[in-house]
Amino acid sequence: MIVAQRKPFEEIKTMLKNYKKVLTLGCGTCVAVCLAGGEKEVDVLNAELDMARKLDNNPLELGAFTVERQCDREYMDVLDSKVGEYEAILSMACGAGIQFLAEKYPKIPVFPAVDTTFIGVNQTVGWYEERCRSCGSCVLGLTGGICPVTMCSKGLYNGPCGGTNKGACEISNDQPCAWYLIYERLKGQGRLDSMMAIVPPQDWKNQVPRTVIQPGYKKPEKG
Ligand code: SF4
Ligand code: SF4
C-alpha cells in the first residue's frame, strides 16, 4: 500500500489561513489503513483546526467527508454536489489522489494534509516499512524477493559493494546489507546462480509520469 504521514499541524493551518469554509476529504483505502488520512483522521484534524482557529479569533467552517478512493473516478462523482459549497479542499489522500481531485475540480484550491512517503508493508498496527520504489523493471525474481532498489543504501542491482561487512551495510551496523540478505535467501533456496546474472543499467522509467493499461482494456475517454 501507499504509506503517508500527516503533515505538521502548523503547516496545514498556514495553508488554510485565507479560507473560511473548507472541506476536509479523507480517502478510505491506503491512507486509511496506515492511519494517516481515513475517516477518523479527518475528524481528528477538523477538531484540531476548529479549536486552533477559534483561539485565533478566525473561525473556520469545516466539512468532513471520506470517499472510498480519491485516485479512482468511480468514487469521485459523489463529490460533484458537495465541493461547490466550499472555498477550498484539504485532501488527506496520497499525492496521486490529491492530484486527481485537483484535476477534477480545477477552479477550487486543493491542499495536501499528508506527505506521501512510500510503497510499503504493515509490520504491525502503526508500523510501516518501505518495500518498493516502483522502478518499473522489477528484479525480485533474481534477488530472492528482496528489493535492491529500496533495501540497498546505494540501490545497487549488481551487489554487494565493497562496503558490505558481516551482514551489515557500510552506512551503519544497524542497517542490514541488502545483498547479504539476498545471498542468504538465494542460498537457502539453492538458487545462488541468480547472483551471477548481470542486471543491465536501469532505464529509469520512474522519472516521468507512467500509464498502465492492462491487456484487454483500452485508454478510456477523459471525463
Ligand atoms: S525492483 Fe524493487 S523498486 Fe523495482 S518494482 Fe521490484 S520491488 Fe519495486
Ligand atoms: S553494503 Fe550492501 S546494502 Fe550497503 S550499499 Fe553496499 S551492497 Fe548496498
Average per-residue pLDDT for the chain: 94
What's the pLDDT band for 220 if we cut at 50, 70, 90?
low
What does the pLDDT read at residue 209? 75
Q: Is 154 in the pocket of ligand 2 (CB under 6 A)?
A: yes
Q: Is 155 in the pocket of ligand 2 (CB under 6 A)?
A: no
For residue 83, what is its C-alpha cell? 465541493
What's the pLDDT band for 222 if we cut at 50, 70, 90?
low
The yes/no answer on whether domain 2-119 falls in CATH 3.40.50.880 is no
What does the pLDDT read at residue 217? 81
Q: Is 147 in the pocket of ligand 1 (CB under 6 A)?
A: yes
Share of the chain above pLDDT 70, in %: 99
Q: Is 143 in the pocket of ligand 1 (CB under 6 A)?
A: no
CA 92–ligand 1 middle distance (angstroms): 26
For residue 174, how many C-alpha atoms fall within 13 Å in the half-sphere facing its CB? 0
Convert the pLDDT of each residue in 39-81 to its tens digit: 999 999 999 999 999 999 999 999 999 999 999 999 999 999 9
CA 175–ligand 1 middle distance (angstroms): 19
Q: Is 160 in the pocket of ligand 2 (CB under 6 A)?
A: yes
What does the pLDDT read at residue 38? 97
Mean local confidence (pLDDT), 30-42: 96
What does the pLDDT read at residue 202? 84
Convert the pLDDT of each residue in 133-171 to its tens digit: 999 899 999 999 999 999 999 999 999 999 999 999 999
C-alpha span between 54 and 211 (Å, rounded):
44
Q: Is 177 in the pocket of ligand 1 (CB under 6 A)?
A: no
Q: Which of 157, 177, 195, 199 is the pocket-test mutation for ligand 2 (most atoms within 8 Å of CB)? A: 177
Decide if 142 contacts 155 (C-beta within 8 A): no
Is the peptide bond between 148 and the residue preceding it cis, with omega within 30 degrees of 0? Answer: no
What does the pLDDT read at residue 223? 54
Q: Is 134 in the pocket of ligand 1 (CB under 6 A)?
A: yes
Spatial neighbors of 143 by CB under 8 A, at least 6 apart, are: 182, 185, 186, 194
Query: How many distinct helices (H) and strands (E) make up the chain?
Result: 6, 9
Q: Which of 2, 149, 194 is the pocket-test mutation for ligand 1 (most atoms within 8 Å of CB)? A: 149
CA 152–ligand 2 middle distance (angstroms): 5
Q: Give the helix/strand (H/E) hosting 88.
A: strand 88-91
Decide if 139 contacts 199 (C-beta within 8 A): yes
Q: Give strand pairing partners of 120.
A: 130
Report DSSP state, residue 83: G
Closest CA to 89 of 71, 75, 104: 104
Domain boundaries, the chain: 2-119, 133-201
C-alpha span between 96 and 103 (Å, rounded):
11
The answer to whether the predicted template modeling score (pTM) of the entire model surpasses 0.85 is yes
What does the pLDDT read at residue 190? 98
Convert the pLDDT of each residue in 112-126 to its tens digit: 999 999 999 999 889
Convert the pLDDT of each residue in 169-210 to its tens digit: 999 999 999 999 999 999 999 999 999 999 998 887 777 777
What does the pLDDT read at residue 203? 81
